[in-house]
Amino acid sequence: MKRWQMVVLLMALLLVVPLLTQNGTAQERGDVSAGKAVYTKYCASCHGPEGEGKPALAKMLKVELRHLGSKEVQAKSDEQLIKESVEGVGKMKPVKGLGDKDVANLLAFLRSLVKK
């Protein structure tokens, strides 16, 4: 990633994180249905329509794709989920073109996937 892109991304995160740590839950700040649309556009091709992951892709990339509603994923802080969702983690590429509202909506959707 180019240095200027990293600077822009970090600045965006610095603006988003305080908004997401204010009063209320992620679901209250973001819209789950709008978040599902963001997820479908940017994430579902690898993570599956309901966060279950795609076994064939995981095998090809030699990675483990945990269900996004799993205890391990849901135990992450909002900030960590946002960071990993936007910047990528491991072999996951960064997601470009998300505004602050998109990020809040995506987080609300990810939190709605919690396994009971």
Full DSSP string of 81-113 = HHHHHHH--TTPPPP-S--HHHHHHHHHHHHHT
Percent of the chain residues topping a pLDDT of 70: 84
More confident site: 17 or 33: 33
Is the pLDDT at 33 greater than 60, yes or no? yes
CATH number at residue 25: 1.10.760.10
Torsion of CA 74, 10, 4, 30, to 10 degrees: 60
Rounded CA separation 110/92 (Å)? 16
Supply the pTM of this predicted model: 0.73
pLDDT score of 20: 55
Whether the Cβ atoms of residue 111 and residue 51 lie closer than 8 Å to each other: no
pLDDT score of 116: 62
For the chain, what is the domain count? Answer: 1
The residue segments making up the domain with residue 107 are 3-112
Read off the pLDDT band of 78 (50, 70, 90): very high
